Structures are given as structure tokens and as C-alpha cells.
Structure 1
């Protein structure tokens, strides 16, 4: 397989329509490129219209199928409208990579503001709840599908520097597992991934706010480095593919052994 994003007839996701949130940068943008390389038609959603448009132009130039939708993950009606737009464009939905996330202001529990808690709830929990329900409704019309939610290594253990973020990501793990059990009879698989340190803009911003975070992360990772966004996207691609046909309710670490 080459590095081209051109749609192929034999890729891991050939013929599938996949919706990706948080698609303008980082893991989401890497997923957009990878999924089209693997044969999917993608619908990309984020707040940053300019970044999405550039990515869509890039994918189409390589022969891929991509469209962009502006979405505000803090607004449930915006999320539902995005899924309705997917139906208008393709008439179905085979897979969804719910990857949108926000980072809180780093700090311990007793200095975490109500605003941080509210933002984490809106974007890292309620947005996924809303998106999964809308996605599942459309997937049922086509006989099933697959959903992958991006959680975090911070959901698996104490997270004293990002307590609200870790709490909402742990809650996301719970609804991922619950949805997997609830929707399995409808042919809808639901899984989560828990990336560790990844070379994204969000991680860089955290390191700027709290110098030394990246160095500490690398030191705590047995593989001795952070993940590249594409490496995380590869795991999501497999979970969305028919190769993972018996996998549902799993929360898969993508952390270089940091959580072991």
C-alpha cells in the first residue's frame, strides 16, 4: 500500500461511509487520510472550517471521496444536524470515529473550575452520547455499522493533573461498553481506544502550559516515544473494519505500554 490517500477497491475500509469528528487536526486528520487510503468515503466534522476545507481538497486531489461539515460538539443540535447531512450526502453510515476532545486547564482537583467541568462534560461526554445515538439511528437503516470513541489513557487511572478530563473520559468508556451491549442485536459494534501521549497540537499546547509534560510522558512509556497520530488512527481503522467483526465493547490501549 502506498501513502496515497486515493480510494481503493481493496482497502481495509473499501466502500464504507465513515464520519469523523475532530477531523481538522491531529488524530482526526490522520484518520481522514488513512481511511480514504483504505477505501472509505469520509465526512469530516470540526469547528475549524478552513482546516477542514484544506484537508478535503487534499484528499480529493488524491482521488479520495471527502466532504466537510462544521460542527460544534458542545451543541447537541449541531451534532444531530451533522449526522443528517451525512444521510443527505450518502444515504447511509457504516462507521463513525468520534474523536473530538478538549483539554482542561491543567491543575489539581481543588483548583479545577466549574467552567472546566462543564466544558469537559459537554464535549467529552454529552457530545459522544448525542453522536452515538444519532449515528446508531442512521446505521440501523443500513443493517448495522461500527463506532469507535477516542478516550484516553487518563481514563484508566488516577489523573490528578487533569481530573475533570479523566473523569469524563472514564465515563465515556462506560457508555461505550453499555452501547456495545445495547446495540449488538442491531449489528452495531461499539469500541473505544485509549491513546497515551501522541504528537498532536493538543499535547504541544499542554506542554507549553505545563513544561516537561512531553518529556515525562516519554520517560513513562516503555517504547520510549510518543505515538504518531497515524499510529492511533490505524487502530481505529481496524476496529471500524469487517476484520474486527467479533470485537465490541473493547477499550483498546494505544499507549506504547504506558498503561501496562
Structure 2
């Protein structure tokens, strides 16, 4: 894709799933990649995968819900690679399912802290670096849950709706600074999160597939392609947009 080669990309939640696939895709397109996660061994393994293919990457342990971690992460990425052009704020958790009346405040807050506050913190510290670098692009991971409603995961739905609001606000704030901010809204994707959610239950998995009009679950690589596209020059007139990549889930 145009405009990716030789640039610097930061990906959070990069040890597995969509983050891992996005880091690999950025590297494949010629970007230098800074990866972060709380899963150190898995994150360093992704770096080794990138380097084995001749790419340039570095891993930095960081908790996206902690301001000091995020501020340090962005500084370290810039120090390592000399600047920052793209960011994918992707770290997220699903939380414990349950009706609102039974959710603990601790579980609700933890999901908000990682899935929503983590995106805010990413934007807060990434935007100034992109502006001082002459521009760039940021993609935040929302979800089809950010466009719909659903029972028993209110904390997750609330956070993902919030990501879209943050994305639109940020996009307008920096529209004249040559910085674009978009979101990607995945449907049900084959990731460790879905494995945890279904707990190996074939019936539960079949129910998820049944909800996808395309007749299958998505692949992390399909979301990665959308993220890298939104960062590329091919999407130079796209900002403030929640791009749905969901196999038709939200159409009916």
C-alpha cells in the first residue's frame, strides 16, 4: 500500500490476535514496528517473526490503561525509530459477561480502563508526536459492538461505543494538522478472545458463525488489512470513519 514503506508504526495489544496480525502486516509493507502488550514472551515472539522476514521491530511492555506506561511507550518508540507516523490503538479485553445489575464495579471499570481509557491515552500521547513529525494516521479498534446493542456485556458495548466517539472527536481536532484518525469495527474474528468467550463450546461457536451472513468468522489478517489501508495514502481523504469489517453482521 502507498505511503507505508519506511515509516514507523506503533501497535498496542500486539502479542496476539488482531494486533499481532497488524504488526506483521505493517512490517510486510515495509514499516518499522513498535509493538506493545502486557504479554511479554508472546510480544517478543512477534518481533522475532518480523525480524526473521527481514523486518525491523521492537517490543515494549506496557499496560494501555496506565498513563505513565503509555507516555513512556510512545517516547520509547520515537527514541527507537526516530519518529512516529502511524498508531493502532488496539489493546482490549472482553470482561466477564453478566447482566448490568450483577456486574461488579471492578469488572466494569477494568473494561472501560483498557478498552476506552487506553484509546484516549494513546491519542493523547500519539497525536503530538504525529503533528511534530508532519502528520500521520491513527486507527482505533472499536467493534460491531460499538454500533449495536447487546445484553450481558454492557461494559464492552459501552467502551466500544466510546471509542467511536473519541475517534470522531480526535479526527476533527487534528483535521488541519495532516493527521487522520479512524476506527475499525471488526465482527466476530478468530482470536484468543473468541476462544475464551466460547470456552471450547462447539455450540457456542456455531451460534457465532450463524450470526455472520458471510457464513464464517473473520480472520485477524482481514482486520489488519483494513487498519493498514486506513493508515496508507490510499485512504488520504478518510478521517473520522468507523470502518466496519464484519462479514455483514450489522446489515440485517
Q: What displacement does 1:82 show?
A: 0.1
Give the unaligned 5+ runs of structure 2: none
Identify the residue that residue 116 of structure 2 maps to in structure 1.
125
Q: What displacement does 1:217 show?
A: 1.6
Pairing of 1:44-193 with structure 2 (within 5 A): 44-193=35-184
Q: 1:41 aligns with which of 32, 39, 53?
A: 32
Secondary structure of the residue that 1:190 maps to in structure 2?
strand
Give the unaligned 5+ runs of structure 1: 1-9
Identify the residue that residue 20 of structure 2 maps to in structure 1.
29
Q: Is the 8 A contact 2:119 2:163 kept in 1?
A: yes
Identify the residue that residue 6 of structure 1 maps to in structure 2.
none
Runs of 4+ in 1 over 3 A off after TM superposition: 209-213
Q: What displacement does 1:91 show?
A: 2.1
Cα distance in 1, alignment partners of residues 115 and 202 from structure 2: 24
Q: State whether structure 2 residue 222 is matched by structure 1 residue 227.
A: no
TM-score normalised to structure 1 length: 0.93
Q: Is the 8 A contact 2:213 2:248 kept in 1?
A: yes
Secondary structure of the residue that 2:165 maps to in structure 1?
helix
Pairing of 1:206-245 with structure 2 (within 5 A): 206-208=197-199, 212-245=203-236
Q: Is the 8 A contact 1:11 1:39 kept in 2?
A: no
Q: Is the 8 A contact 1:103 1:165 kept in 2?
A: yes
Q: Is the 8 A contact 1:106 1:210 kept in 2?
A: no
Cα distance in 1, alignment partners of residues 233 and 70 from structure 2: 26
- C-alpha offsets along residues 191-229 of structure 1, whole Å, 9 cap, x if unaligned? 001101000001110001877442222101110001010
Change (3 A) 1:149 1:199: same
Aligned Cα root-mean-square deviation (Å): 1.4
Q: What displacement does 1:161 show?
A: 2.3
Aligned length: 251
- C-alpha offsets along residues 152-194 of structure 1, whole Å, 9 cap, x if unaligned? 1111111212111100110110010000001111111000011
